[in-house]
Amino acid sequence: MMRETQHHRNMRPMAVDLSPAPGEKRILLEHLGVQGIRRISVYESKGGYNALKKILEKKLSPDQVIEAVKGSGIRGRGGAGFPTGLKWNFVPKDQSKPHYLLCNADESEPGTFKDRVILEHLPHMMIEGMIIGAYAVQAKKSYVYIRGEYTYATKIVEEAIKEAYRAGYLGKNILGSGFDHDMFVHRGAGAYICGEETGLISSLEGKKGWPKLKPPFPAVEGYLKCPTVVNNVETLAAVPWIINNGDKAYSGIGTEKSTGTKLWSVSGDVVRQGVFEVECGASFQTLLEDCCRGMKDGRKLKAVIPGGSSAPILTAAEAMDMTLDYESIASKGSMLGSGGMIILDETRDLVQVLKNLSEFYHDESCGQCTPCREGTGWLMKILHSFTEKQARPIDLELLKTTSNNMIGRTICVLADSIAMPVLSYIEKFPEEFDRYLSESSGQSSLSEKLQAKELL
């Protein structure tokens, strides 16, 4: 649902720091500060569309493009972190059915707003990446599935696509190569689930945004039952740089398994919130101290949600010990996810935070699979009983069992997206829950104790 206030806020461009913060390594955002960079002429003057020209003029084969992207080691920036080149390679080489490329611009994970910077300021970089991606998987049509609330970004992208058509980068026989490609913008209607790749496909097909059962995977049977690649905005925007500078240049940045740079959208209790491009493998302190200038009002760090609200929470100690790459964050029991980092200071009540999140996931569950449809509501209600100080001691166990029975039991990962945080909050901050329990009137009766024994 588009809320009035949200809507108005999105009518304006998001404020960004045009010059890099200390600690940043800008390759995607290199030209962010250039006046008028969202216009095609300015973008071209900074080397824009050179990657596409290079491919089409040098007659690189689609496979060569895929190899380059594979070689760069770039992984999907939407959340799952799946190697992009590999994903493209799964698309069948024959053309018995049309192929499609979908750009997932339905950025709706709480805490995540990094794609918005690209959509609003560097749309041509994404479009160029999409055309290259489409060429690699031989798709004649692509869609930008853009979040409904991103009204301003939609206008920018639509305008940019028109410019690209006029410049001959889209349409028939692009740059005389014989390659045809059409690009469309499709606005979502404000459902979080439509950011899930198969939910997105259902929605684009004009259906209710229900994720689809896998297998078959979209690369084989996706949009309109045709081979389809769904990539995140940031992933596609990185493609021109990789083509221009070579896969080795990209894989030379970052760590061995997490190559390149990552955009982080940092919110919460820091001095300067915003979107920062940081080399993979940089320390958490680089982001916190250099980019965000440390904690707000000199308060102490309590917890970090590293990769969007569905990522399990980390304690301050764990966060301080991690580096900003897929492996390091995973080793702490969380995930890099979308790079939507939420910083929580010592004044934050994590039970309230979790209750708030549970409301979001309850609201956004599509209702298709039973464990998610029912579980998200149940978790929310139990968490309410905590914050209303009516929880029973067994409710803590019940939260855990409910969560454990949601994880991995559904078509998509929305259930996991709240169940895993619930488990991590309880595991890492048990004292926060105990405080509510001790203040709760919900003394469990004898029969409830018996029930608990039987159930657990």
Partner 1 sequence: MAKITINEKEFEVEDGKNLVDAAEENGIEIPHYCYHPGLSVAGQCRMCVVEQEGNSKLQIACNMQCKDGLKVSTESDRVKDAVKWNLEFHLINHPIDCPICDQAGECGLQEYFMEHGKYKSQMREQKVLKEKVVPLGDKITLDKERCILCSRCVRFTQEVSKTADLAIFNRGDRSVIGTVNNEPMKGNYQVNTVDICPVGALTSTDFRFEQRVWFLEEAESICRGCSTGCNVNIHHKAGKHIYRLKPRYNADVNAYWMCDEGRLTYKSANFDKRLNAARLGGVKLPLREAVQMLAAELKTLVAMEQQDEIAVLLFPTETNEDLETVFKTLKGDLEINAFYSIDVQALIDEDEVKDELMMRNDPYPNSRGFVKGMKAHKIETKNLQSLKKDLESGKIGHLLIIAPEDPQVTDLLAPLSQATSPDTFVSLLTPQTAAADLFAQALSIPCISHYEKKGCMINFQGREQQLSGGFRMIKESLSLDECFRLLLEEYKKPTEIDRRKGAQQ
Residues near partner 1, by CB under 8 A: 191, 193, 208, 213, 215, 362-371, 373-378, 381-382, 385, 394, 398, 401, 405, 408-411, 451-452, 454-455
Say if CB 275 and CB 264 are below 8 A apart: yes
- Smallest gap from Cβ 311 to partner 1, in A, equals 20
- Smallest gap from Cβ 117 to partner 1, in A, equals 29
Q: b/e string for 200-219 if b means 16 or more Cβ within 10 A?
A: bbbbbeeeebbbbeeeeebb
Helix (H) / strand (E) containing 182: strand 182-187
Give whichever of 303 and 391 is closer to partner 1, judged by the CB atom: 391
Give whichever of 122 and 379 is closer to partner 1, judged by the CB atom: 379
Q: What does DSSP assign to residue 15?
A: P
- Smallest gap from Cβ 437 to partner 1, in A, equals 16
Tokens of 416: 């996991």
Give whichever of 322 and 382 is closer to partner 1, judged by the CB atom: 382
- Smallest gap from Cβ 453 to partner 1, in A, equals 10
Phi-psi region of 342 (alpha: psi -120 to 50; beta: other; left: phi over 0): beta
- Smallest gap from Cβ 401 to partner 1, in A, equals 8
- Smallest gap from Cβ 379 to partner 1, in A, equals 10
Q: Residue 179: how many CB atoms within 10 A of its CB?
A: 18
Give whichever of 171 and 190 is closer to partner 1, judged by the CB atom: 190
- Smallest gap from Cβ 394 to partner 1, in A, equals 7
- Smallest gap from Cβ 377 to partner 1, in A, equals 4
Give whichever of 83 and 377 is closer to partner 1, judged by the CB atom: 377
Q: What does DSSP assign to residue 273?
A: -
Residue 258: which of 357, 173, 351, 330 has the closest Cα?
Answer: 330
User: What is the CB-side half-sphere exposure of residue 262 using CA atoms within 13 A?
Assistant: 34
- Token pair 């969380």 is found at 334
Cα 284–289–295 angle (5° rounding)? 105
Q: Residue 4: how many CB atoms within 10 A of its CB?
A: 7
Residue 123: which of 166, 157, 169, 158 has the closest Cα?
Answer: 157
Give whichever of 189 and 271 is closer to partner 1, judged by the CB atom: 189
Give whichever of 208 and 348 is closer to partner 1, judged by the CB atom: 208
Helix (H) / strand (E) containing 68: helix 62-72
Give whichever of 286 and 358 is closer to partner 1, judged by the CB atom: 358
Give 171: exposed, middle or buried? Use CB within 10 Å, 0-12, 13-18, 19+.
middle
- Token pair 């972190």 is found at 81
